[in-house]
Amino acid sequence: MDRFQRTFEKIRKEKRIAFMPFLVGGDPNPEKGLEILKEVAKYSDGLELGLPFSDPVADGPTVQAADTRALKAGVTPDKVFEIVKQLRKETDIPITFLVYANLVYQRGIEKFYKDAKIAGVDGVLVPDVPLEESGQFVQAAKHADIRPIFLITPATNKERRKKILREAEGFIYIVSVLGVTGARAEVEPRTIQLVKNLKQETDLPLVVGFGISTPEHVKTLRMAGADGAIVGSALIKYMEPYYKTPKELQKKLKAYLGAFQKASL
């Protein structure tokens, strides 16, 4: 049983939803980024890490700014792999990479997934590779015992969902809004309906991201039957003013993340 299976089996038994924050690896720099991840992991059921990239087409201004900070601090894929290795000494929760195809190609597809596995990564999502072009990525993922993660949006029709579900492992990433990442005011009704529809189509855990930004959103998703919630832009934006005061950030995160943790129950 892998980390995803253990985690989602546990949260289903506890009748709650998994809280899975997203952060850019190495933001605002490798040293601080690792310490932040260690702290965030204490309150989380899983983590999604973005590899810093110059053109993150699926991401809004907040994540783009985090990418820029990390890149200016000299963060490379190698450094993110090392961050994960160090993080693995502190936590055994599932870790997913969100990485753009250019970075995977540059390293070599097979090598990227092999290195990710060695570092301690459990799943990889490549958001700018459509299903029709994902063959090499899926093959490399499965060869390395990495779970290939796929996106399903409210615009994905049932036939296409079937094709995605045949390839996906680990969990299904439900995109709650059409557009880029970023905090939103509410969970849209069509997202709730998509969760309910997919519950009838797959046994894979359903994790919702893009725009999930408050504990109330997490409660809404839990009541709708989702298995997990990814909170990214809202968390990054919350932390930004405290990057230069680590002790204060640690104190603030305890209350902030605690509220999400409580909402997941």
Residues marked active site are found at 48, 59
What is d(CA 96, CA 128) in angstroms, rounded to the nearest whole number?
Answer: 16
Distances from the Cα of 18 to the Cαs of 9, 34, 143, 231, in angstroms?
A: 10, 22, 27, 11
Cis omega (within 30 of 0) for bond into 189: no
